[in-house]
């Protein structure tokens, strides 16, 4: 099989402390090393070695990014370096119960973007509004649900809204004031 016809595997390498200190691949069932693009699961170092040995697989390794870095810019447009961090941190849409991959999602400003006013700096939005801490992946459908008011609803807001918690999870409030906690493990209703 020629290289141009090879199956392509895109790896995002994640180096945990255990990957650097535990050199025994059999300890604790192996060390999670990488996440394969368009999946939510991690693969072991042994699987990566097998792909690299196979002539039928083209392995693309993406650069290691420290996802703890907080990156911000003073523009509405989202640079690739920020979009990549957000999508790697949250690999799926963050709307309650949604599992669409973040690669196909819009990136939403959690706090609405307010353009800066160059003539009156105190009247415009603050610097750094487009940041890894103020963006979340939302599939197109849920981005629209969040952005556009509903025709029904009982609370002061007639649309879905969310706030990001310090641990990276999200609390969503529906137009009917029902709340949901969304974290990497799924969705939990908070109100009865």
Q: Would the pTM count as exceeding 0.85?
A: no
Which residues partner with 182 through β-bridges?
A: 170, 187
pLDDT tens readout for residues 128-144: 999 999 999 999 999 99
- DSSP letter string, 146-169: HHS--S--SSS-SS-EEEE-TTS-
How far is CA 149 from each of CA 42, 64, 75, 186, rounded to the nearest angstrom?
Answer: 38, 39, 25, 25
Using the predicted structure, report yes or no on whether residue 62 has a pLDDT greater than 70: yes
Question: What phi, psi does 108 have (nearest 5°)?
Answer: -100, 135
Backbone phi, then psi, for 38, in 5-degree steps?
Answer: 70, 20
Question: What number is the average pLDDT over the span 68-75?
Answer: 89
Closest among 59, 64, 68 to 36, alpha carbons compared = 59
| Greater pLDDT, 149 or 87 | 87
Tokens representing 47 are 């699987």
Proportion of the chain above pLDDT 90, given as a percent: 42
CB 181 within 8 A of CB 170: yes
* Separation between Cα atoms, residue 31 and residue 24, nearest integer Å: 9
* DSSP secondary structure of 62-80: EPP--TT---EESSSS--H
User: Which residues, at least 6 apart from 41, have a Cβ–Cβ distance to it below 8 Å?
Assistant: 35
Helix (H) or strand (E) holding 58: strand 57-62
Identify the band that residue 109 occupies on the pLDDT scale cut at 50, 70 and 90. very high
Greater confidence (9 vs 169) lies with 169
């Amino acid at each position: 099989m020629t290289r141009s016809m090879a199956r392509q595997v895109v790896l995002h390498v994640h180096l945990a402390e255990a990957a650097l200190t535990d050199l025994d691949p059999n300890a604790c069932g192996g060390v999670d090393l990488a996440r394969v693009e368009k999946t939510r699961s991690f693969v072991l170092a042994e699987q990566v070695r097998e792909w690299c040995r196979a002539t039928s697989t083209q392995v693309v390794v993406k650069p290691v990014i420290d996802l703890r870095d907080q990156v911000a810019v003073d523009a509405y447009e989202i640079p690739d370096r920020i979009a990549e961090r957000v999508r790697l941190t949250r690999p799926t849409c963050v709307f309650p119960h949604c599992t669409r991959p973040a690669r196909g999602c819009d990136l939403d400003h959690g706090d609405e973007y307010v353009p800066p006013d160059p003539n009156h700096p105190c009247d415009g939005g603050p610097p750094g509004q487009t940041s890894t801490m103020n963006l979340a992946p939302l599939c197109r459908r849920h981005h629209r649900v969040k952005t556009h008011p509903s025709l029904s609803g009982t609370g002061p807001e007639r649309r879905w809204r969310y706030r990001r918690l310090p641990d990276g999870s999200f609390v969503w409030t529906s137009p009917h004031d029902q709340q949901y906690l969304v974290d990497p493990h799924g969705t939990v209703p908070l109100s009865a």
